[in-house]
Amino acid sequence: MIHELTEEEFTRIVENSVEELGYNTLLTNPDTNAKYPCITVGNTLSSILITEDKVPVKTRFQISIEVWSTSKYETMAIMDKVAIKLRDLNLTKVGTPTELYDEITSKHRRGYSFEVFFNGLTNSFDRTK
């Protein structure tokens, strides 16, 4: 039977995986009272590539993840841990990282988009490259 994965389900899978790293994990940007360093998971996008009888068989998922910390180097180190953890799900980084300093929280943030194909026939994540 073909399984259709929703954006909510995908986000929960990624969030649960990232939480295993032990950092504070959020679905929104942190405020000044948040526990740092932290990881934000959000901005999920899905794109159906192949359907069978109107049911998605192959879907591309992209998700944005940011690391917030007091040090730019710490954001890099934690993001490397995130990328390694997400390899378990066959997610790979795409694009150029975003690097910003947030004046309100006085924290550095580093973000990447990650991408994977979901195979509805095998109920599994396939590499995109």
Q: What is the DSSP string of 78-117?
A: HHHHHHHHHHTTT-EEEEEEEEEEETTTTEEEEEEEEEEE
What is residue 17's three-state secondary structure? helix
In sequence order, the β-bridge partners of residue 109 are: 68, 100
> Percent of the chain scored above 70 by pLDDT?
98
Q: Across residues 8-17, what is the average pLDDT?
A: 97
Domain limits, the chain: 7-126
For residue 92, give the amino acid letter: T
The residues, any chain, with a CB within 8 Å of residue 106's CB and separated by 6 or more, are 70
Class for the domain spanning 7-126: alpha beta
The pLDDT of residue 54: 86
Residue 90 reports pLDDT greater than 90: yes
The model's pTM: 0.92
